[in-house]
Amino acid sequence: MSPRHFLTLKDLSSAELKQLLSRASELKKIHREGALYEPLKNRVLGMIFEKSSTRTRVSFESGMAQFGGHALFLSSRDTQLGRGEPVEDSARVISSMVDAVMIRTFEHSLVETFAKYSSVPVINALTDDYHPCQLLADMQTYQEHRGSIEGKKVVWVGDGNNMCNSYINAAALLDFQLVIACPKGYEPNPELVAEHKDRVTVLHNAKDAAKDADLIATDVFASMGQEDEQEQRLKDFDGFQVNTELMSLAHQDALFMHCLPAHRGEEVSAEVLDHPDSVVWDEAENRLHAQKALLEFLLCHK
Ligand code: CP
Ligand code: NVA
């Protein structure tokens, strides 16, 4: 039987995602109480990184250690994958020695190919197209602070990037309305938008979008791999900063989220990011708990 993979949020059913988010909060409680829970004793997670990371690496590595297992950091700089060994061969070999593989890379098709040839679960830890692990943490954070997100209005401000595409998938699975405000030319995947046109709207004005929002989320203007476009994007994204003025258009108890790292003064003002009520630090911490729930789901539920 082929293993369960987590390449996009859609690899989970709506019920599975909801169960996983509740489990993430339970695991957070268990961890905070200092209770020992080691369901992955002697199991190994291979972590392939072709892009930089702080949160993703620390959360997966700590999560595996807390579960009694081990995580292997595999940089493309030091592996044969980085020297051109075919993905198919790397997948067969690496998956024969570990219990799950986490990959952060550029092209989404690489994780799909890896998964096809892997004998163990593969987790997408960010590609150019999707960042589903971050959405687990974002949705857990919303639920912990405000309850169910079903029927709420979520506004994505900024680039129609990997995070934005994953928000579209989350809207479909958790039944919320998503309004995306991006500059012209920076829209998310059009096929994905068309597929979910019943709940996804794309606008080109942040203020129009922010009205009555329950959650406003954003991300950097230039993602990893787009560093050369930074200067042009700074111009093109004029008017797409999440600041106090924009937040004042949302509901009074609206949350602000950012996957981090953030650029204060660009996509978000320092005032919003560093506000005492900001949940972005919880959001970052929840990467740990949400991914532990994901690892448990993929590796312990037969
Ligand atoms: N949000 C996120 O994925 O952070 P890192 O790039 O630090 O892993
Ligand atoms: N969109 C950003 C997310 C970083 C966590 C990037 O891909 O660089």
The minimum-distance atom of ligand 1 relative to the CA of 54 is: 7
Do 156 and 88 belong together in one domain?
Answer: no
Averaged pLDDT, 83-109:
98
CATH value at residue 103: 3.40.50.1370
Q: For residues 203 and 206, give the distance between their C-alpha atoms in angstroms, rounded to a whole number.
A: 8
Q: Where are any strands of DSSP class E within the chain? A: 44-49, 70-75, 100-104, 122-124, 153-157, 177-181, 200-203, 215-218, 255-258
In a domain, 4, yes or no: no
In a domain, 3, yes or no: no
Do 120 and 239 belong together in one domain?
Answer: no
Q: How confident is the model at residue 125 (pLDDT cuts 50, 70, 90)?
A: very high
Summarised one tens digit per residue, pLDDT across range 232-248 is 999 999 999 999 999 99
Do 191 and 242 belong together in one domain?
Answer: yes
Q: Alpha helices, DSSP H only, in 157-205?
A: 162-174, 190-195
What are the phi and psi torsion angles at 181 (to 5°)? -115, 110
Is residue 76 scored above 90 in pLDDT?
A: no
Is residue 67 scored above 70 in pLDDT?
A: yes
Q: How confident is the model at residue 302 (pLDDT cuts 50, 70, 90)?
A: low
In a domain, 232, yes or no: yes
pLDDT recorded at residue 301: 80
Mean pLDDT (the chain) is 98
Averaged pLDDT, 22-35:
98
Total structural domains within the chain: 2
State which residues form the domain around 160: 134-283
Do 195 and 274 belong together in one domain?
Answer: yes
In a domain, 21, yes or no: yes
Do 260 and 296 belong together in one domain?
Answer: no
Give the SS3 label for residue 178: strand
In a domain, 148, yes or no: yes
pLDDT recorded at residue 273: 98
Averaged pLDDT, 167-179:
98
**Is 77 part of the annotated catalytic residue set?**
no
Query: Which numbered ligand comes closest to the C-alpha of 136?
Result: 1
Do 169 and 270 belong together in one domain?
Answer: yes
Distance of CA 226 from the midpoint of ligand 2 (Å)? 10
Do 67 and 162 belong together in one domain?
Answer: no
Summarised one tens digit per residue, pLDDT across range 250-292 is 999 999 999 999 999 999 999 999 999 999 999 999 999 999 9
In a domain, 62, yes or no: yes
In a domain, 123, yes or no: yes
**Is 134 part of the annotated catalytic residue set?**
yes
Going by DSSP bridges, is the β-strand pair 255-258/100-104 parallel, antiparallel, or unpaired?
A: unpaired
**Is 196 part of the annotated catalytic residue set?**
no
Do 164 and 264 belong together in one domain?
Answer: yes
- Whether 56 is in the pocket of ligand 1, judged by its Cβ within 6 Å, is yes
